Structure 1
């Protein structure tokens, strides 16, 4: 019985830590792309964007990304999308891939990205 409780405790701890580690890795990779010249798109609402965003990010809410004029962005350009938690940016990533963009990375949530910004550590 003690072994089962210990196994359950280890499993529970890994379920708590793993998503945080994944989000951190995702944000770190986003910064690598950004540092290499990727286009950055904040897919949150305009109101959310006004409360803070990554420098030089375009604001194209996920609800508008399907119809947005993206002709200024080459299909082979590297693009990083982000939102509040990573959910809307995952949807935006899928939309961009179906529109023919080849290199799209979901940076996840803004707060995680800002916490992983290389010069902020």
Structure 2
């Protein structure tokens, strides 16, 4: 499984990277990486058609565990998926802004 750091994610976002947050909607509303799209992990397989197969997608959750599992799902289905190590919690600890 490919994995990236918070610093690498920030740089990728500056280049227009796609980010999917697999947390539950209530968690997402509390704060998320700016630009992230919320597709809860229990809906991801049914919503694969919403994910662009022609570009890399960064997967994020609270800590990196759920997004890691979903990164493997996407990779197994032909996507270029990258897990964000440390997840949203690491993003917040780094002092970066969150969206609500």
TM-score by length of 1: 0.67
Over the aligned positions, Cα root-mean-square deviation in angstroms equals: 2.2
Deviation string 1:40-88 (CA, Å, 9 cap, x unpaired) is: 11100011111111122110011111111434x4313121111011000
Structure 2 unmatched ranges of 5 or more: none
Higher-RCO chain (CA-CA 8 Å, sequence separation at least 6): 2
Distance 1:75 1:69, change over 3 A: closer
Shift of 1:101: 0.9
- Number of aligned residues: 94
Structure with the bigger percentage of helix? 1
**Equivalent residue, structure 1, for 2:6:** 27
TM-score between both structures, scaled by the size of structure 2: 0.79
Determine the structure 2 residue equivalent to 1:86. 64
Distance 1:96 1:69 in 2: 8
Runs of at least 4 residues off by over 6 Å: none
C-alpha distance in 1 between matches for 2:69 and 2:57 = 14
The structure with the largest alpha-carbon Rg is: 1
